[in-house]
């Protein structure tokens, strides 16, 4: 049996919740625009980008690559019928720097997407994924 995770999610009243992990880190969840929390489906996209981003950041360090900055944009299509869910997700990796090694950075992205990122694997079960890597040869 694999490792388990434990998250406690507490109702804060109205339409707001707070989730806490075993380390005591918290995040707010709600469904209202302009509020202090993220919506549940947005958290899924954050988890996808965060999981893959951690892989890529680790590989950038391991490969000793020169990158000024990078960001991951996730753009998802929501179905119209309940239960609404993502059926297609585009994941864009944006790398910034004057001396980017495109081949190695693409390899880092590929390793995350194809081998390491468990959240990516979960998304494959219910959504079509489109992966794009974009190189910006200037500082962000």
Specify the DSSP class assigned to residue 126.
T
This prediction's pTM: 0.92
Q: pLDDT tens, 5-32?
A: 999 999 999 889 999 999 999 999 998 7
Instruction: Please provide residue 6's backbone torsions phi and psi, each rounded to the nearest 5 degrees.
Output: -130, 120
- Decide if 92 contacts 76 (C-beta within 8 A): no
For 80-137, write each residue's pLDDT tens digit: 999 999 999 999 999 999 999 999 999 999 999 999 999 999 999 999 999 999 999 9
């Amino acid at each position: 049996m694999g490792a388990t995770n434990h998250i406690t999610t507490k109702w804060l009243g109205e339409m707001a919740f707070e989730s806490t992990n075993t380390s005591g880190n918290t995040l707010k969840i709600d469904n209202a625009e302009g509020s202090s929390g993220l919506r549940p489906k947005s958290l899924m996209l954050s988890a996808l980008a965060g999981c893959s981003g951690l892989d890529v950041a680790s590989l950038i360090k391991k490969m000793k690559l020169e990158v000024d900055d990078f960001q991951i944009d996730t753009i998802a299509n929501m179905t119209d019928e309940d239960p609404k869910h993502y059926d297609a997700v585009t994941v864009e990796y944006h790398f910034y720097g004057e001396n980017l090694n495109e081949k190695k950075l693409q390899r880092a992205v590929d390793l995350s997407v194809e081998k390491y990122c468990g959240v990516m694997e979960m998304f494959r079960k219910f959504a079509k994924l489109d992966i794009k890597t974009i190189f910006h040869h200037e500082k962000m």
